[in-house]
Amino acid sequence: MEKSVQTLMDVKKLRLERHWSQEQLAEFSGLSTRTIQRIESGHSAGFESTKALAAVFEVDLQSDKQQKAAYSMSKEEEAYVANVKGIYKMTGIAIISLLVPFVLAIANGEWTLFLWVLLSWLVIIGVLVLNTFQFFGESWGRKILSKRKK
């Protein structure tokens, strides 16, 4: 069972590689010909049908779980992605919240409110960016700690 479940997705291709008819595949797998036709036309296969086809085509169902595990993110990576997503959200909120002060500034010619709101958002987003991307890095932290010990 050297192939993975991903290769099982194209049942028709696997069947034709073996020069089998749909009826033969149905017989080998214990499924109905109609089920084979549905799967080959793009309908999803149930777990039992997938198991039966995996056995016929000598596909290892475990390897699919192992592939998913290999592509899963660590907790640290998930946190990083969440932080970057947070920066995008905050930027969107900042842009939307700047619309009213901007319109008021254009209408009144008074830009003070707009500039204060803009400056506030720049500071908030700047802090998020510094925390997320760690501009100072680990080496900087180690250097500071070594100076402290001296």
Q: How far is CA 86 from CA 4, 32, 132, in A?
A: 36, 50, 10
**Selection from 27, 28, 25 nearest residue 12 by Cα:** 25
Residue with tokens 């993975």: 4
CA atoms within 13 A on the CB side of 62: 2
Which of the pair, 131 or 67, is modelled with greater confidence?
A: 131
* Burial environment of residue 119 by CB neighbours within 10 A (0 to 12, 13 to 18, 19 or more): exposed
Q: State the Cα angle at 65 between 29 and 67, rounded to 5°.
A: 115
CA distance 75 to 64: 21
Q: What mean pLDDT do residues 123-145 have?
A: 85
CA distance 145 to 150: 9
pTM here?
0.48
Fold designation for 5-70: 434 Repressor (Amino-terminal Domain) (1.10.260)
> Domain residue spans in the chain?
5-70, 75-149
Mean pLDDT, the chain, rounded, equals 84
What percent of the chain is predicted at pLDDT more than 70? Answer: 85
Start-end of H helices in the chain: 5-8, 11-17, 22-29, 33-40, 47-56, 61-71, 75-108, 112-133, 137-149
pLDDT of residue 111: 95
pLDDT tens, position by position, 31-88: 999 999 998 888 888 888 888 888 898 887 665 555 555 556 778 888 888 999 999 9
Which of the pair, 7 or 138, is modelled with greater confidence?
A: 138
